[in-house]
Structure 1
Amino acid sequence: MTKPPRSKPLLRDTEPPIRSKPRQKRNPAQPQLLFDPMPDRVEPALAQLKAKPPTGNEWSWEVKWDGYRLAVHIEPRGIRILTRGGHDWTHRFPAIEQAARALGPATMIIVGEAVVLDEEGRPDFGLLQQSLGASGRQAGGRASDAVLYAFDLIYFDGHDLRGLEYRSRRHLLEDMLNGPMNGQPDAIRLSETLDAEPAVLLEHVCRLGLEGIVGKHLDRSYRSGRTGDWVKVKCIQSEAFFVIGYEKSAASPAGFGSLVLAAYRGADLVHVGSVGTGFRQAEIIRLRTMLDKLRWKRKQPPLPYSGSADIVWVEPTLIAEIEFRAWTTDGKLRHPSYKGLRERQDNADVFRLD
């Protein structure tokens, strides 16, 4: 018996046709073009952090993948893989590039999250960073084993889809990735929607050791920035902080005891505590080498500090992704654990205190 389709096809004869957006002014360099020119880059839509998921049938839920946001541009001239900050990292994701070629010849922009999976099939941010080279400065830096979990389609076959509601874009994405002609390339996979109450889903994904869930409003168009159309609920809080120093370690003279962290408050940096767990030994040595090249050359530390620890201050350049359970009453991270370095090229957001 043939298994019924997971979701209804977008286009049926009995349904009203999809109307195109009003035509905008054409690119002067393409005066005869009949369709929407593919944008060179689209500023990403971002999810707002929520303490608990909203309820209602107007939300679609999926796993929150722990990796790098990418936009894959499939064009007649070739493939471009752009980071959230707009940098071209095509050469750093060769398997995703190859899978994207198999989806042609139609032109499209697929939005998704690049991850590296551990032996149990869970995304591991540390493994992704090892593949890329932690700060982008190592030779090579290719995540050949990375997988893109696609969750949106914002341009397809000459049409800009950003004006369509999310449910329509999602149906097109599902039909394109699961179509009988294309199949689904192994390095580009559909980020499956999860059919259950969001509170139950959150409990389940947390039990599996995943990062959380993301909800997308089915009736909203694609809008860049944190508009509230997309929301995220995390099992464990995870944010990016500046590394502003390290505490020395008597047990490991070539390493350190902990990294000192800072966040923004307005335009100023504020000390939010230290992290001393989550490091592999090789990562400690590598980080110490990087930090010693960034030593603070001024007499005063880079921010107000009232502690008593012996700290070697550094220029606030490196950005670390840190997991933590909560905040203490004095504004410090509770039970922090190091996950890896974020890359400035990926437009990593340093956490801002309210």
Structure 2
Amino acid sequence: MSPPKWIKPQLCKLVAKAPSGPLWVHEIKFDGYRIAARIDQGAVQLLTRSGLDWTAKYPATAAALATLKVESAYLDGELCGVRPDGVTSFELMQQASDRGGAGLVYFVFDLLDLDGQDLAALLEKPPDGIAFSAHETSDGEAFRRAACRHGLEGVVSKRVDRRYLPDDRSAWVKSKCLNRGEFVITGWSDPEGSRPFLGSLLLAYHDDDGRLLYAGRVGTGMSQKTLAFLHRRLALLAVPKMPLAVPPPRETRFGGRLVLSKVHWVRPEVVAEITYLTWAEDGLLRHTVFVGLRDDKLAREVRRERPA
């Protein structure tokens, strides 16, 4: 029997601390692209969290999955670049994506459809480029602190008594080491001094009514190569009208003055991942750093995450 064509992925609710107790298991939170692997009679598809087929983008991963001794299966996992110290890196993920995905590792953490085999047995001796994401049953917050000491992004905790239900965000929760989130790029400002291409990116998120609200700017964490790439991509999306529901403030307590006449607005279609220190009292991000673009995320789904 063939596996499902696509399964909407289980998502996580953000919490301040990892939970503990016999009903929870804990896994490392990886820093890559959430990818489902659909295997049907040796044919492999790599599907994004929105159902896009990215098999052609990562042929090496698809080839490795095709060697698994299984007729049909549906796996859920994260495709990552891995540093020499074993820590996953979104920057390495994007670099590898530019050259066909060579050297990436697919960490498998859930098995949703298989011919009667369990995940651990299937991946007891996985091929190169495939790894099994084991879980811990220890104290959740202690596990999170240990993950943070090793420079990891955070921890995902899962209820052992709950089924895989995409719309039940209480079954999986994530607790982070860094404040990190996805935001919609709504424009860019002109560069100053010797900086080329663009100054900063203007960020936003959707509220529950679908309005696009300003979240602040990011101007650090981008190399000249990245600045050039962003400028080329965003220039294709340029629009004359501001896409935000409310104009951004020209003056803020933190950061330089924003001159709206020097802002280039774009269609709100591109999602960026950002690290930040905190949200200020004025509702804007502080001390932001650009991590990369999230081509696996739909801009219309971007919301502000608030710890439970």
Using the size of structure 1 for normalisation, the TM-score is 0.78
Residues 192, 124 of structure 1: CA spacing in aligned structure 2 closer, same or farther, 3 A cutoff? same
Task: Tell me the equivalent position of 1:22.
Answer: none
Partner of residue 49, structure 2? 84
Pairs aligned (count): 294
153, 174, 193: which one aligns with 1:251: 193
Task: Kindly provide the CA deviation profile for residues 290-323 of structure 1, in whole angstroms up to 9, marking residues without a partner as x.
Answer: 222322223x564422315122222222211111
> How many Å apart are 1:346 and its aligned residue?
4.4
What's the CA shift for 1:98? 1.8
Pairing 1:285–2:285 present: no
Q: Which residue of 1 aligns with 2:214?
A: 271
User: Does the C-alpha gap of structure 1 residues 252 and 291 become closer, same or farther in structure 2, counting only changes over 3 Å?
Assistant: farther
How many Å apart are 1:353 and its aligned residue?
A: 6.7
User: Is residue 179 of structure 2 the alignment partner of residue 233 of structure 1?
Assistant: no
Alignment of 1:75 with 2:40, yes or no, is yes
Look up the SS of the partner of 2:108 in the other structure: strand
Q: Deviations over 1:201-225 (max 9, x none)?
A: 1111111111100111112112123
**Aligned positions of 1:196-235 closer than 5 A:** 196-235=138-177
Cα separation, partners in 2 of 1:242 and 1:236, compared to 1, 3 Å:
same
CA positional deviation for 1:119: 2.9
- Residue number among 101, 107, 115 corresponding to 1:143 in the alignment: 101
Residue 9 of structure 1 corresponds to: none
Verify: 1:327 aligned to 2:270, yes or no: no
Determine if contact 2:22/2:137 at 8 Å carries over to the other structure: no
CA distance in 2, matches of 1:115, 1:216: 21
Q: Please report how far the alpha carbon of residue 275 of structure 1 lies from its aligned counterpart in structure 2 after TM superposition.
A: 0.7
Alpha-carbon distance in structure 2 between the residues aligned to 1:353 and 1:151: 23
Give the letter aligned to residue 147 of structure 1. V
Larger gyration radius, structure 1 or structure 2: 1
Query: What is the alpha-carbon distance in structure 2 between the residues aligned to residue 184 and residue 254 of structure 1?
Result: 45
Q: Percent identity?
A: 34
Q: Structure 1 regions of 5+ residues with no counterpart?
A: 1-35, 134-140, 160-168
For 1:304 and 1:47, locate their aligned partners in 2 and report how far apart those are by CA, in whole Å. Answer: 29
Task: Tell me which moved more, 87-96 or 271-280.
Answer: 87-96
Of 167, 173, 196, which residue of structure 1 is paired with 2:119?
A: 173
Structure 2 SS opposite 1:103: coil
Map residues 114-193 of structure 1 onto 2, 5 A cutoff: 114-133=79-98, 142-157=100-115, 172-178=118-124, 183-193=125-135
In structure 1, C-alpha distance between the alignment counterparts of 2:162 and 2:266, rounded to whole Å: 44
CA distance in 2, matches of 1:325, 1:287: 23
Query: Which residue pairs with 1:100 in the alignment?
Result: 65
Corresponding residue for residue 54 of structure 1: 19
Inter-partner Cα distance in structure 1 for 2:158 and 2:282: 34
Q: What is the DSSP-based 3-state SS (H/G/I as helix, E as strand, rest coil) of the residue aligned with 1:196?
A: coil
TM superposition shift of 1:104: 2.6
If the length of structure 2 is used for normalisation, what is the TM-score?
0.89
Instruction: Select which of 279, 283, 304 maps to 2:246.
Output: 304
Q: How big is the shift at 1:37?
A: 4.7
Q: State the distance in 2 between where 1:227 and 1:272 align.
A: 24
> Root-mean-square deviation (CA), in Å?
2.0
